Structures are given as structure tokens and as C-alpha cells.
């Protein structure tokens, strides 16, 4: 199969709401980075997080096996550190094989949840 | 008319909520793959679904007639198998003529519905 | 100023909910096609609407003046015909000067509104 | 690090809802332009706002430091002027170094908030 995807992606929006309504973990306010690796080789993925007022942190390292997807919750990142809540950030996703990246947030700060999603920005 | 579209598309995010509120089928939680075939030839479309922890399934086959659209609900896919609820997945959409693909979810797990949508990622 | 934009765009998703809650027209369920014409020439825009089970309709014709935006509600299209409610459709947007197109829906079928938006798919 | 991003971006949709529910400023209806500057040089950003029925306004000038993000709320723009509420607009974002731009709206006109987001349209 021909490859589809890119090795570098960026998500300019990032914000993990500190509040939630509804049963955890499904309805917990969260932000996700969904990665598809359609290739026949495992993808070694490094994510760097950028902030407004301090140096970037990372890389956060993940492996996505060949022909698998991984829906990563930024909420759960903890190595090298946790991502603070209620804080604007951006992310840069780099992989050694072409992948496809989509950004999604579920915001349940109020009683009913809201959703957003977009394909991330692909590097050249 | 010059053609617009691509033959290969990917959607990294995928998740069919298992719960719904409101009258079916309109307000049933669902995920859709909207396909536009603006060309003068029928499009033969094959969709492969990727998971986090098992081999991909498919292809799910659909025909989109010339100069027609088709709004496919992943909820209704059943050949070669149904797509499990509450399970992260990704999809790869391949066609023999250029098409345009957009991804949409309606989530009605809580009393009020939430929506997300994005143009899928086009292959080169 | 160098031009930004494309002359052909497609939106695969399309659906005007037939129900609404809240004060009209702001909270009326609607679908919009937002067009930016950053150029120094008026844009003559033609929109064709595609359906699942009948021939396309259009073109719907609009002019977007130089260095202006226009937020068109598909709900209000009526020449050559109205767009039916609760019916899946897609749209193709063609202009004689480069424009930028974004698709947005406000769905107020339930008590609280939901939103979706995506930059449309740009032709080559 | 190789650069990712573009120097010109457009957002065709723009609308700051005049009403809000919930505690300010978090749940105030707002529209944001999230900018990632992954490069090693400060980005000097100029944003021009286009309207339906009057000349564009701007530029609104911002600096995004090297390896930083900035989540700008259009609500807060005030130099050379404020952006009117309940008014359709579009925006053009220009930078002297490559950046990545994403558009997000939180709409809290009704009791529960709604969200939309999309990567902006990148210029060539």
C-alpha cells in the first residue's frame, strides 16, 4: 500500500479544562491527539509541548505499532512532566514514519459536553 | 469540469459513543463519513478501519454514483463486521475516482448534543 | 498584497436541521458557508449543491466585493430553489478570483446549541 | 529543527457572540486565534479583519516569542479598534517567520457552551 501521512504535525490550540461534569473517565474534560499509523512499520512518536510564558517541555515519547491507531489523552501525559490544566499550549508531533494526526477536545465544564476536532497541520 | 478531490483520505479520530439521548435515529450518537463524488463516473470506495489493539478490518465497500453525495454512518457498517461502540478507531478511505471526504460526529451521551467536524486528511 | 486562496472549494458534509430552539434568527439551526475575498477584485461565486438521490442543483450565484467577507446561510438559498431541510447534501464552490471558504453549522434541535466548523477542501 | 508552518493564514469564519452564560472570563463567549511559533526567532504577526459591509481594519500587531504559543482572543483586540459583537468577519494573519494558526470559538449564548475549531487555511 502506498503511504499516506506526514512525519511532522502541529496543533496550535491546546487547553485542558480543569473542571468536568459527568462520569469519569468518559465525560472528563480532556484533549486528545489521535494518531493513525497506516504503515507496516512501528512509528516512534515524539511530542513537544509549547507554552505562552515558559520553555517547551518534552519530548513525550510514544510508539504506535504498524497498522494501528492510538488515541492519546494529553491529560495523561506525565513523563517528563504533567501538562498543567487551564493553561494554553500548543503541540508539535514528530514521527519516524508517516502518520496522520487529528486533534479533539471534550469540554464538560458545564453540565452538557461540547466537542471540537480538526485534522492537525501537516508539515511539508 | 475539472476534477476536485483525492483518491485516498484518512481520519485519525474515530469513536462511536455507546449512549444516546433524544429521538432515534436523528439524535442517536453517531459518527459519519460524508463523501462527495463531483465527477462524472461512479466512485467505488473502500474503507479500512484501524484499531488500537487488533488488526485492521475491512474493506467496507460502497458505491457513490456520479455527481452524488453519500453520508455514511459508521454505526451502520456491518459487512464484513460491525464497528464496536466506545472503542477508539481510525479510518482510511480509498476510491477509484477523486472524492472529497469530511468527518462528523454527533455525541448525544448527555442530554444536549455536541458536534465535531473536519475535512479528512487528503493523500498526495 | 500576494493573493491567498483558491478558486474551487468543496464541502462534503451538509445538513440543515429542521428543528430549532431559541430566538430566531440567531439561534435558528443553520448551515453557513463563510467566504473571504481578500483580493482587490470582486468575486463572482457559483455554488452547486449535490444530493444523495437526485441530480445536483444550482448554480446559486453570489458576489463578494473586493476585500470583503460574506457569511452565506444555506438556509436562505432560494434561487434556483430552496435547499430541503433534514436532507444530506454537499456543496462545490467556484469563484473567478481566489477566495477562502469555511463551513459552519449551528444545530439547535435540542435545548442547547452545538457547533461545528472546518476550513473547506481547497481544489488544486 | 526544520521549520513547520506558513507565513500567511486566513480564517473565513468570524463571529463574537454578544451574549454569554457562566463565569467570566473562562465561559465568556469568545473567538480565539491560537498561534504556534516553533521557530527560534520571534514572530511579528499582523492581523487584518474583513467585514461584510465596510473596509478592512488593522493591522492588529502581536509578537509571539521564539518557541512559544499565544492564544489571542479577538474579543480583546482594541488597537486600532475593537471588533464589534454579533457581526460576521474574517481574518488574515501574516507573520515574518513561519507559524501555525488554529481558530476556535466558545459560544455560551445558551446555558451550555458549544465549541468549534479548525486549523486555519495556510497560504502557499
Which residue segments constitute the domains of chain A, with CATH numbers given? 6-122 (2.60.290.11)
Say what the pLDDT of residue A16 is: 93
Mean pLDDT value of segment A47-60: 98
pLDDT tens digits, C64-123: 999 999 999 999 999 999 999 999 999 999 999 999 999 999 999 888 889 999 999 999
A8-18 in b/e burial notation, b at 16+ Cβ within 10 A? bbbbbbbbbbe
Angle at C5 (CA atoms; ends D75, A34), nearest 5 degrees: 70
pLDDT at B3: 83
Take residue D31 and report the three cell numbers written for it.
473567538
* C4 vs C47: CA distance, rounded Å: 20
A 10 A CB-CB count for C85 gives: 12
C33 interfacial to chain B (CB closer than 8 Å): no
Is residue D117 within 8 Å of residue D104, measured between CB atoms?
A: yes
User: Whole-prediction pTM value?
Assistant: 0.96
Residues in chain D: 124
Instruction: Determine the residue of chain A that is closest to B121 in CA distance.
Output: A119
- The 10s digit of each residue's pLDDT in A74-123 is 999 999 999 999 999 999 999 999 999 999 999 998 888 899 999 999 99
Distance CA B73, CA B14 (A): 12
Chain B residues with beta carbon closer than 8 angstroms to that of C83? none
Q: What would the mean pLDDT of D98-120 be, rounded to a whole number?
A: 93
Give the angle subtended at the CA of B30 by the CAs of B113 and A13, to the nearest 5°.
Answer: 65
Distance CA B118, CA B106 (A): 13
Convert the pLDDT of each residue in B30-64 to its tens digit: 999 999 999 999 999 999 999 999 999 999 999 99
Q: Tell me the average pLDDT of chain B.
A: 94
pLDDT band at A1 (very low <50, low <70, confident <90, very high): low
In this prediction, residue C1 has a pLDDT band, given cuts at 50, 70 and 90, of: low
What residues does B119 pair with on adjacent strands?
A: B102
pLDDT of amino acid D111 = 86
Do B114 and B19 form a contact (C-beta atoms < 8 A)? Answer: no
Cα–Cα distance for residue pair B24/B21, rounded to 1 Å? 9
Asked if A58 has any chain D CB less than 8 Å from its own CB, the reply is no
Strand A43-51, strand A57-64: pairing:
antiparallel
**Which chains contact D through at least 3 pairs of Cβ atoms less than 8 Å apart?**
A, B, C
For residue D74, name the pLDDT band (cuts at 50, 70, 90). Answer: very high
Give the whole-angstrom CA distance, residue C121 versus residue C115: 19
What CA–CA distance (Å, rounded) separates D59 from D72?
A: 14
**Minimal Cα distance from A112: which residue of C?**
C112
Name the residue among D108, D45, D20 with its Cα closest to residue A12.
D45
C-alpha grid cell, residue D46: 499582523
Would the CB atoms of A67 and B89 count as touching at under 8 Å?
no
Q: How far apart are CA D90 and CA B13, in angstroms?
A: 28
pLDDT band at B112 (very low <50, low <70, confident <90, very high): confident
Q: How far apart are CA D92 and CA D122, in angstroms?
A: 10
pLDDT surpasses 60 at D65: yes
Residues C48 and B37: their CA atoms lie apart, in Å, by: 13
- The candidate with the shortest Cα–Cα distance to D111, out of A27, C30, A20, C111, is C111
Per the prediction, chain D carries an average pLDDT of: 94
Amino acid at each position: 500500500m502506498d503511504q499516506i501521512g506526514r512525519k511532522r504535525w502541529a496543533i496550535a490550540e491546546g487547553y485542558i479544562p480543569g473542571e468536568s461534569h459527568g462520569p469519569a473517565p468518559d465525560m472528563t474534560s480532556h484533549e486528545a491527539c489521535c494518531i493513525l499509523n497506516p504503515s507496516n512499520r512501528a512509528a516512534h512518536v515524539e511530542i513537544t509541548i509549547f507554552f505562552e510564558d515558559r520553555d517547551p517541555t518534552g519530548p513525550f515519547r510514544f510508539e504506535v505499532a504498524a497498522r494501528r491507531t492510538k488515541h492519546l489523552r494529553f491529560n495523561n501525559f506525565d513523563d517528563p512532566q504533567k501538562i498543567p490544566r487551564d493553561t494554553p499550549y500548543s503541540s508539535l508531533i514528530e514521527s519516524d514514519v508517516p502518520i496522520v494526526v487529528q486533534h479533539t477536545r471534550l469540554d464538560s465544564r458545564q453540565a452538557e459536553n461540547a466537542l471540537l476536532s480538526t485534522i492537525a497541520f501537516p508539515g511539508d
